[in-house]
């Protein structure tokens, strides 16, 4: 029971941090509940499909199928997050100024919501497929699901969801006029962290081998296996022993997002009241 | 993400000079439980899962995580290491622990 609780909690915790941020990012956007729920549902289904096909997936790309798949969906999430931030830099002011105004803004807003729903789905899929594999493995080994496993899993799910809720509630206490800046920054660091994680998978598969020396080691200060280390790993991509290539990917992603946001941001025509 | 695209083009085939190690998972034990490798050389660890359930071959110290289905082989690549004693484990069964020793 304890093992099920711990694994489920850990994975839900990591996905929950991302879902909590996305909920805070989209606060006030109509239809967001539906989009985020759809993202979670798609992620759960995707997790089951991935778990089912793990054996076959592993054999692809000369045995590096898992790594290529993980790196691919992470890169896709990075693109979606970048796109969202750039879109918000362009339209965020209008949205805030006209506060849920015309149908056009709402329709355009839902495009950005779709990008974020995809990010939610990817986060849930990645963490969820591990949960499915683990629980299925335990159930198969003991000849069926047990109450202990179900109870442990449910407690893990509830505790993990509380983290999601806490992240959301913590972020929405930020005054509305700062919320946009805070969430844009969070999204940018989240994207950079995911890019560095994608590199780690490509290095594990030996697809990327250049610049693979460890640049620094802060594991004595904060191990990325600890709970705080894991949280920071998910949120801003903290790694206690990053390789040079990971740092380059991290910095390049941040720089790309900042430059694109600057490039596409519209100068304010009038002073917005609420932004 | 531009960087990711660029980086993907920089594919160097250095797996050749990697030190190849093998470990088997059986009855929730690593066999051998201690691996040895020279310092400052890339390493490839081949793992075979002879347990009756799926494993996640993982190491925080060595920076890899990989699902290993029942009866299958997997390989993870590890960056060149400084001397030390590095821990790896089955993330789905934490009692299963192993070490990589670099003298």
Weakest-pLDDT range from A36-40, A118-122, A194-198, A268-272: A268-272
Residue A274 covered by a domain: no
A199 is a domain residue: yes
Q: Residues near A161 by Cβ (< 8 Å), separated by ≥ 6?
A: A12, A16
Query: Between A136, A137, A204, which is nearest B77 by CB?
Result: A204
Q: How far is A206 from chain B (nearest CA, A)?
A: 6
Residue-level pLDDT at A209: 87
Query: pLDDT band for position A213 (50/70/90)?
Result: confident
CA distance A138 to chain B (A): 7
More confident residue, B25 or A148: B25
Edge-to-edge strand ranges of the sheet holding B19-26: B29-31, B19-26, B43-49, B73-78
Q: For residue B96, give every residue at least 6 positions away whose Cβ sits within 8 Å of its Cβ, in sequence order, or none.
A: B25, B28, B29, B30, B55, B89, B90
**What are the residue ranges in chain B where pLDDT is below 70?**
1-16
Mutate to test the interface with B, among A51, A52, A209, A228 (most CBs of B within 10 A): A209
A75 contacts in B (CB within 8 Å)?
1, 4
Is A271 part of any domain?
no
Lowest-pLDDT range of A98-107, A152-161, A173-182: A98-107
CA-based nearest distance B42→chain A, Å: 9
Pick the residue from chain B with its C-alpha nearest to A194. Answer: B1
Distance separating the N- and C-terminal Cα atoms of chain A? 48
A137 and B75: CB-CB below 8 Å? no
For chain A, positions 13-42, list CB contacts with chain B under 8 A. Answer: none
Closest CA to A127 of A160, A159, A150: A160
With respect to residue A99, please indicate whether it lies within any of the assigned structural domains.
yes
**In a domain? residue A191:** yes
Interface test with B, best of A11, A79, A134, A227 (most B CBs within 10 A): A134
Query: Is A137 within 8 Å of chain B by CB?
Result: yes
Q: Which pLDDT value is given to residue A275?
A: 44
Pairwise CB contact (< 8 Å): B80 & A204 = no
- Mean pLDDT of all residues in A150-172: 93
Q: In this predicted model, which residue has the larger pLDDT, A249 or A140? A: A249
* Helices of type H across chain B: 2-9
Residues of B with CB below 8 A from A248's CB? 3, 7
Confidence of residue A63 (pLDDT cuts 50, 70, 90): confident
Half-sphere exposure of B73 (CA within 13 A, CB side): 9
In angstroms, the first-to-last Cα distance of chain B is: 38
- Domain encompassing residue A88: 2-264
pLDDT at A93: 64
Q: Is A134's CB within 8 Å of B2's CB? A: no
pLDDT of residue B29: 95
What does the pLDDT read at residue A255?
98
Per the CB < 8 A criterion, the answer to whether B66 and A204 are in contact is: yes
pLDDT single digits (tens) A223-241: 988 889 999 999 999 999 9
Rounded CA gap, A117 and A245, in Å?
29
The class that CATH gives domain B16-102 is: mainly beta
Of A55-59, A246-250, A265-269, B67-71, the range with the highest mean pLDDT is A246-250
pLDDT tens for A102-120 read 555 555 566 788 899 999 9
Could you tell me the pLDDT band of residue A130, with boundaries at 50, 70 and 90? very high
> Would you state the pLDDT for residue A26?
85
Q: Which residues contact A35 (CB under 8 A, 6 or more apart)?
A: A26, A110, A113, A114, A116, A117
Mean pLDDT across the stretch A210-217? 89
Of A79, A137, A212, the CB nearest to B92: A137
Residues of chain B found within 8 Å of residue A138, distances taken between Cβ atoms:
53
What pLDDT score was predicted for residue A112? Answer: 80
pLDDT of residue A260: 95
Inter-chain CB proximity B42 and A213 less than 8 Å: no
**Phi and psi angles of residue A184, each rounded to the nearest 5 degrees, phi first:** -60, -40
Measured between beta carbons, the chain A residues lying within 8 angstroms of B75 are 63
pLDDT for res A242 = 94
Number of compact structural domains in chain A:
1
Q: Could you count the other beta carbons within 10 Å of the beta carbon of residue A99?
A: 12
The answer to whether residue A128 is domain-embedded is yes
Residues of chain A contacting residue B7, judged by C-beta atoms under 8 Å apart = 199, 202, 208, 210, 245, 248-249
Q: How much is the pLDDT for A1?
A: 77
- Give the DSSP H/E element, type plus range, for residue A107: helix A103-141
Search chain B and give the residue with CA nearest A69. Answer: B66
Of A168, A180, A152, which Cα lies nearest the Cα of A6? A152
**A225 contact residues in B (CB cutoff 8 A):** 60
**What is chain A's mean pLDDT, rounded?**
88
């Amino acid at each position: 029971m304890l093992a099920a609780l711990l694994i489920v909690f850990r994975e839900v915790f990591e996905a929950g941090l991302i879902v909590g941020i996305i909920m805070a990012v989209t606060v006030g956007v109509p239809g967001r509940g539906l989009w985020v729920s759809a993202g979670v549902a798609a992620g759960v289904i995707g997790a089951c499909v991935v778990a089912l096909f793990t054996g076959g997936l592993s054999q692809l790309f000369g045995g590096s199928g898992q790594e290529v798949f993980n790196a691919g969906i992470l890169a896709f999430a990075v693109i979606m997050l970048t796109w969202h931030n750039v879109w918000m830099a362009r339209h965020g002011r209008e949205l805030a100024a006209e506060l849920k105004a015309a149908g056009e803004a709402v329709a355009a807003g839902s495009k950005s919501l779709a990008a974020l729903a995809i990010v939610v789905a990817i986060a849930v899929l990645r963490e969820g497929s591990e949960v499915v594999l683990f629980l299925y493995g335990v159930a198969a080994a003991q000849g069926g699901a047990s109450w202990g496993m179900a109870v442990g899993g449910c407690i893990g799910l509830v505790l993990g969801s509380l983290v999601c809720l806490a992240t959301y509630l913590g972020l929405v206490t930020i005054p509305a006029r700062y919320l946009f800046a805070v969430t844009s920054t969070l999204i940018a660091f989240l994207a950079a962290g995911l890019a560095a994680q994608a590199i780690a998978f490509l290095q594990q598969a030996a697809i990327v081998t250049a610049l693979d020396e460890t640049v620094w080691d802060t594991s004595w200060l904060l191990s990325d296996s600890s709970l705080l280390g894991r949280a920071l790993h998910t949120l801003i991509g903290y790694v206690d022993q990053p390789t040079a290539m990971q740092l380059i990917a991290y910095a390049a992603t941040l720089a790309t997002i900042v430059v694109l946001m600057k490039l596409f941001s519209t100068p304010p025509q009038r002073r917005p009241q609420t932004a | 993400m531009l960087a990711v695209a660029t980086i993907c083009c920089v594919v160097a085939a250095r797996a050749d000079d990697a030190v190849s190690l093998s470990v088997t998972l059986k009855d929730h034990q690593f066999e051998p439980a201690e691996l040895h490798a020279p310092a400052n050389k890339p390493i490839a660890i081949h793992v075979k899962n002879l347990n009756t359930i799926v494993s996640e071959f993982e190491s925080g110290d060595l920076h890899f995580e990989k699902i290993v289905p029942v009866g299958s082989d997997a390989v993870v690549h590890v960056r060149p290491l400084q001397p030390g004693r590095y821990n790896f484990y089955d993330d789905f069964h934490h009692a299963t622990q192993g070490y990589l020793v670099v003298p």
